[in-house]
Amino acid sequence: EIRAILAVAKKILVDRGGAFPLSQVELLDELFQQKVPLISKIQVEAFGYFAGIRRDTFKIQGEDVLAKTEYRSMAELASRIQREETDQRVMGKDEFLEKIRKMHLGEWRFYYTQPEIMDGTQWSIDVYFNQGEDVINYHGSNAYPSNIAEFSKFLSLDLGV
């Protein structure tokens, strides 16, 4: 993996007396990594004009991560009908947080867009923390972080990618 190669190169540089200051993106990711143990919930929403809206919530409860999906088609949105699943355990807390850590969400921009596409997918990912930390919101319209497919697969999401 590229991250492993870069880590080795940085270590060699530092061992030889050089300095490798962190970039702005690396500093933001470092701050995010420090907050990972404080994550209490991640909520993902995707909306497509013809597909409707889907909201997946992953909530840490004790040593478990519980998931709930809410889905509304365009017809249901018009008639105000809502389908909702009950919370289901999807994995353990430690496994979840470790996978989130490896995603390096702190490197993501807060907004992604591809303005030339009119009808597509709008999405948002909100990361909630314990202890009064601010919510981090990532969102976009028809554009995504480079590792969104990996993120989607990990959480069994359909974000239109």
pLDDT in tens, 95-129: 999 999 999 999 999 999 988 877 778 899 999 99
- Residue 58 tokens read as 């992953």
156/138 Cα distance (integer angstroms): 18
pLDDT at site 19: 79
- Which pLDDT tens digit goes with each residue over 10-22? 788 878 888 777 7
User: What pLDDT, on a 0 to 100 scale, did the predictor assign at position 82?
Assistant: 55
Residues 42-98: tens digit of each pLDDT:
999 988 766 778 889 999 999 999 999 887 765 555 555 555 566 788 899 999 999
Q: What is the 3-state secondary structure (H, E, C) of the chain?
A: CHHHHHHHHHHHHHHCCCCCCCCHHHHHHHHHHHHHHHEEEEEEEEEECCCEEEEEEEEEECCEEEEEEEEECHHHHHHCCCEECCCEEEEEHHHHHHHHHHHCHHHCCCEEECCCCCCCEEEEEEEEECCCCCCEEEEEECCCCCCHHHHHHHHCCCCCC
